Structure 1
Amino acid sequence: MNFKEPLWTSAELTATCGGAGAQPWYADGIQIDSREVLPGDLFVALPGTQKNGHAYVAEAFSKGAVAAIVSEDVPGKDIPALKLVHVPDTMQALRLMAAQARVRAPVKTIAVTGSAGKTSVVQALRQALERTDATHASIKSFNNHVGVPLSLARMPRQARFGVFEIGMSGPGEVRGGAMLVKPDVAVVTAVGAAHAGRFGRIFEIAKAKSEIFEGLKPDGVAIFGVDHEWAGNLMDAVKASGHERLTVSVTGEADVRPLRITEHGNCTCLTADVAGTTITYKIGQPGREWVLNSLLVLAAVKAVEGDLGHAALALAKLEAEPGRGRQHLLTLPHATVTLIDDSYNANPLSLKAALRRLSLTPTKKFGRRIAVLADMRELGARSNELHMKLADDLKRFGVDKVIAFGPQMNEVGKVAGISTERWHKDDDSALRLAETLRDGDAVIVKGANSAGLGDIVRGLLRVNAAERAEDANNKLGVSYAL
């Protein structure tokens, strides 16, 4: 987005949170991590649980920060005191900035939560709406008590649509994020056993997700999928809130539903009824989960009076985010392989969707479907039960081999009766995996983010890049002395 006006000025900040600073300034960005500061940014020194941002104010200024919001004394001889903005509580200042950013422009906001697909839906909505008008959206997974206000505070005053992801680690967190965003539209993508270790029952997860409806504006719209057994709980929550609703289903009756679906290995084509509007479109990503995501996107676009035609064009060109289903064609020294990078995180819902995606991916000749899996986390006492339920999915979706980075996935593969190898992650894991692949294989990488399987994906991509560079040099007749 091109900035026609500063994101924040010293005068606006003073009016918003009473921050006292001696020198006027204006900023084009906000950072809470000094490593990411760019010239012209405003740095907010948050106390943190492990690191205190006040210890990094000097570094922020060395990288070009125009000012820093602080609530403590900061170390460093060369810190320009005139550029320090003193407030009683930097976290509260960020929240006040978030609230001001929400009301200073005529923006329609969408909040998205759910057990799976949140980030994918947020980024698809961003791409769909920015074809109509200036759109701001959460980046990465900025969806917690810090990420939500930071994403809001970063919203330019030129924005006309804002899309925000709201996650949770326990009851009440979705409510807090929703009350800050105060969305025109609230979307619940799915309800499943993510974070089951912090909730007694999945019913309680559904209840926590439904907190998002409490933040809706009086004329707001609630959008949610109904293809799960807790849809009634979401329906009751919406009725209690008194808001309008749009239900979404892939397989049954709903306000938004497909009329015809044709699945391919690299895309999905469908005709859908979007609350009375029939639209035929293509999704640039395969998989049944993307059918649901696309319907949620179209429902939300219609609810904020966006352009459905532009949204459909965006869905056709959709590219998955790194770690969230992005597909790569690897040219290895001995094989051509399809790699699906779904390494960012895993829960029972998203892992089942990933295996289904793998089943749709074509293989060639003697190629296999290989699942590189790490154990899921935060499932509590139900962890073993929820892992074992995947055994049937491994068989149903035609997985030929499991490479398990964790004891539970190793056991799941064995229970499923599938060829399974237990690996331990090290610096050579990517190269070792590359060497075991055969021509025509399709591989998906999926596991808890803490398992670090993204390192293996990046290693495979480096091997692929090196091989392509060598091929190009050979064609040009370039040689090197080693």
Structure 2
Amino acid sequence: MTEPLWTFEALVAAMRGRPTSTAAPAISGISIDSRTVKPGDAFFAIRGDRFDGHDFVGKAAAQGAAVAVIAEDRLSALGRLTIPLVVVGDVLAALESLGRAARARSVAGIAAVTGSVGKTTTKEMLARALAATGPTHFSPASFNNHWGVPLTLARMPADAAYAVFEIGMNHPGEIVPLVQQVRPHVGIITTIEPVHVEFFPDGIEGITRAKAEIFAGIERGGVAILNRDNPQFEPLALMAIDSGVERVLGFGENGDAEARLTAIDLLPDHSSVKADILGREVRFTIGAPGRHLVQNALAVLLAVHILGGDLDLAADSLSGMAAPAGRGAQHVLSLGEGEALLIDESYNANPTSMRAAIAVLAASKPAPGGKRIAVLGDMLELGERSGEMHAGLVEPLTAAGIDRVYCAGRLMQALWSVLPSDMQGQYAETAEELDVILGDAIAGGDVIMVKGSKGSRMTPLVERLTTRFAKPEPDNAGQDPEIEGLA
């Protein structure tokens, strides 16, 4: 029999809550979203910016929640419910307390990942690499904020051998309370770039200090892993030492990096790599394209080694990695005269990730007669230099030999105005307006890359294109192949 994630008694004790009944169901999961509640979950009725979880306790109960955690001031308004309740002063604070209890009972080797770019893919790579050695816990999405981190902690099984957490921020001071909950043995900073610079009047220096907050939570004897090729390596290393981190290691192409890239073959759908990891030669393949993934894979293998994982198994595991949706996932579009390839980079965007995505597009191989097409939406939160940063994309686009560029959004006008006329596809004020335009413009053999900040609405554009040009199901779709073969 599988052990429960939490006994009812341990759940209540961790939160110092007040049960409203004598029922004591075992807890198999933790949820804050009534739409995804599974039987046996504890549902936490968190008040969000747009919704209050207390309004959905009934729905959670109907979907099989074993218990609901609610705020004292909402108890009388909930009426009669069919599941046990645990009453607390503040539901989010209770979730944080449960997360801390999960961390306190854990014997896992724990890593935390932050950085301006590449947090989620690095977390996914590291989780995959550690899972080759032992049971590994990690969040299924970008749960990197004030509710995502404690939720991921609270879901951590007591018997996990490893755990990987993503930690994000938009403003100074946001990382400290999160990393102090996680208390990692290894802290990774992928890179420092001008992201969310709108909220940092002192620019890259302020961003560097904010990311360095991860050092405040690294356990005694722990390790900081930093990008040796990034100009902020030295300031970060000094901040790590000042924070009491005993060991600082670097990754990259720099000759002093402890995880050093020595050879690389970048291909349209994967990369072959040779690296030196603390003096040991490691050869591996990453099953998704992009030099940026190779760079962060060096940090991953270094972290695996530090946490006691099997380096050979970890390296082998990376060949099975596929780019996630919005971060390089590839889709085949079925057109009347053939097929086109769509590269979905729509999850978010900043100047650094834009350049990385453009490099992936440049490495792609259109079919004969096909074009490389970039479809770009606004990059948000760039502050006073936004226009300059958008216009600056003309350089990597031109150098990469991109055939056509389609732009959407007010900020992208800065790029559109400096594009060579032979590269200009079309400009639109919104991503929605590009639907018909792109549908008429793309042709068999093309490779199309779509990217923009989340607020630019490029992800729905990808969804509409993949739906409109979905590959037809074969005529025998849905038939049982074994029964069909008996004929």
* TM-score normalized by the length of structure 1: 0.93
Give the drift of 1:472: 6.8
The gaps in structure 1 that reach 5 residues or longer are 474-482
Give the 5 Å matches for 1:9-24: 9-21=7-19, 22=21, 23-24=23-24
Report how many residues are paired. 469
Equivalent of 2:467 in 437, 462, 465: 462
User: 2:27 is matched with which residue?
Assistant: 27
Counterpart residue identity of residue 9, structure 1: T
Give the 5 Å matches for 1:83-98: 83-98=84-99
* 2:168 aligned with 1:163: no
Task: Give the whole-Å Cα distance in 2 for the aligned partners of 1:339 and 1:357.
Answer: 12
Give the 5 Å matches for 1:8-407: 8-21=6-19, 22=21, 23-71=23-71, 72-74=73-75, 75-80=77-82, 83-200=84-201, 201-242=203-244, 243-250=246-253, 252-407=255-410
* Residues 250-259 or 418-427, more deviating: 418-427
User: 1:477 is matched with which residue?
Assistant: none
Counterpart residue identity of residue 67, structure 1: V
Counterpart residue identity of residue 234, structure 1: L
Identical counterparts, % of pairs: 38
User: 1:441 is matched with which residue?
Assistant: 446
Give the drift of 1:430: 3.9
Q: Is the 8 A contact 2:171 2:199 kept in 1?
A: yes
Give the drift of 1:42: 0.6
Counterpart residue identity of residue 208, structure 2: A
Q: Is the 8 A contact 2:39 2:65 kept in 1?
A: yes
Q: Is the 8 A contact 2:416 2:427 kept in 1?
A: no
**Distance change in 2, residues 1:400/1:252 (3 Å):** farther
Q: Is the 8 A contact 1:7 1:154 kept in 2?
A: yes
User: 1:476 is matched with which residue?
Assistant: none
Q: Secondary structure at the match of 2:469?
A: helix
Give the drift of 1:471: 7.2
Q: Is the 8 A contact 1:431 1:463 kept in 2?
A: no
Give the drift of 1:302: 0.8
Task: Give the whole-Å Cα distance in 2 for the aligned partners of 1:96 and 1:286.
Answer: 40
Q: Is the 8 A contact 1:392 1:416 kept in 2?
A: no
Counterpart residue identity of residue 166, structure 1: I
Task: Give the whole-Å Cα distance in 1 for the aligned partners of 2:48 and 2:155.
Answer: 20
* Residues 455-464 or 194-203, more deviating: 455-464
Q: Secondary structure at the match of 1:302?
A: helix
Counterpart residue identity of residue 473, structure 2: A
User: 1:479 is matched with which residue?
Assistant: none
Q: Is the 8 A contact 2:142 2:166 kept in 1?
A: yes
Give the drift of 1:251: 5.0
Deviations 1:240-280 (A, max 9, x none): 12321110113543111111111111111111001122101
* Residues 379-388 or 282-291, more deviating: 379-388
Q: Is the 8 A contact 1:70 1:85 kept in 2?
A: yes
Give the drift of 1:235: 1.2
Q: Is the 8 A contact 1:45 1:90 kept in 2?
A: yes
**Distance change in 2, residues 1:426/1:275 (3 Å):** closer
Task: Give the whole-Å Cα distance in 1 for the aligned partners of 2:211 and 2:221.
Answer: 20
Q: Secondary structure at the match of 1:299?
A: helix
Give the drift of 1:427: 6.0
**Distance change in 2, residues 1:28/1:84 (3 Å):** same
Equivalent of 1:422 in 396, 420, 427: 427
Q: Is the 8 A contact 2:261 2:273 kept in 1?
A: yes
**Distance change in 2, residues 1:265/1:49 (3 Å):** closer
* TM-score normalized by the length of structure 2: 0.92
Q: Secondary structure at the match of 2:74?
A: coil
Task: Give the whole-Å Cα distance in 1 for the aligned partners of 2:427 and 2:475.
Answer: 33
Q: Is the 8 A contact 2:275 2:282 kept in 1?
A: yes
Give the drift of 1:288: 0.9
Task: Give the whole-Å Cα distance in 2 for the aligned partners of 1:251 and 1:166.
Answer: 26
Task: Give the whole-Å Cα distance in 2 for the aligned partners of 1:409 and 1:61.
Answer: 46
Q: Is the 8 A contact 1:197 1:382 kept in 2?
A: no
Give the drift of 1:103: 2.0
The gaps in structure 2 that reach 5 residues or longer are 478-487
Task: Give the whole-Å Cα distance in 1 for the aligned partners of 2:205 and 2:255.
Answer: 22
Deviations 1:317-351 (A, max 9, x none): 11011111112232222232111111111111111
Task: Give the whole-Å Cα distance in 1 for the aligned partners of 2:412 and 2:256.
Answer: 36
Task: Give the whole-Å Cα distance in 2 for the aligned partners of 1:279 and 1:101.
Answer: 35
Counterpart residue identity of residue 180, structure 2: M
Q: Secondary structure at the match of 1:64?
A: coil
**Distance change in 2, residues 1:431/1:126 (3 Å):** farther
Q: Is the 8 A contact 2:408 2:431 kept in 1?
A: no
**Distance change in 2, residues 1:411/1:385 (3 Å):** closer
Task: Give the whole-Å Cα distance in 1 for the aligned partners of 2:85 and 2:359.
Answer: 53
Q: Secondary structure at the match of 1:454?
A: helix
Give the drift of 1:163: 0.2
Task: Give the whole-Å Cα distance in 2 for the aligned partners of 1:342 and 1:449.
Answer: 10
